[in-house]
Amino acid sequence: MTPESSSSAEAEKVVKKEHCENHANCMKLIQMALDGEASPEELEHVRQNLGNCLPCNRGYNLEKAIKQALQLRVEQKAVPQSLVDCIKSKIHEL
């Protein structure tokens, strides 16, 4: 326990990094975290980066927005009932 761990309002005003010297690797970890594939250690690393690094923060928000767009907004085509019926009847002919 260090004295800093008692967070005061002042501690909230962390100055975030404008440049990330390790951004390509950070983005890989961020994607794994969003995919639910990061280890607890990797998640913790990402969490810390998000708190103090602007490029990582933006990258995270962007990746999350894209992932959600793919999950929720990609057009879904309804499977034709004729296809379902055709498969079922062919199976029973076998």
Partner 1 sequence: MTADEFIAVRQYTESEKYAIFDRELMPHIQSMYNFAFRLTQDEDDANDLVQDTYLKAFRFINSFEKGTNAKAWLFRILKNSFINDYRRKSKEPNKVDYQEVETYYDSEEMAGTSQTTDLRAETVQELLGDEVTNALNALPIDFRTVLILCDVEGFTYEEMAKILDIPIGTVRSRLHRARMLLKEKLKTYATHMGYDTSERSEDEESL
- Residue 5 or 82 with smaller CB distance to partner 1: 82
Token duo for residue 20: 């990330």
By CB under 8 A, residue 85 contacts partner 1: no
Produce one character per residue of 73-94: b if its CB has 16 or more CB atoms within 10 Å, e if not.
Answer: eeeeeeeeeeeeeeeeeeeeee
The pattern of x and - marking residues 51 through 70 that bind partner 1 according to CB under 8 A reads ----x--xx-xxxxxxx-xx
According to DSSP, the residues that pair with 53 across neighbouring strands are 17
Residue whose tokens read 């969490």: 47
User: Least distance (Å) from partner 1 to the CB of residue 70?
Assistant: 4
Q: Which of 17, 23, 43, 45 binds partner 1 (CB under 8 A)?
A: 23
Q: Which of 17, 32, 42, 43 binds partner 1 (CB under 8 A)?
A: 32
Q: Which of 7, 17, 19, 50 binds partner 1 (CB under 8 A)?
A: 19
Contact 49, 16 (CB under 8 A): no
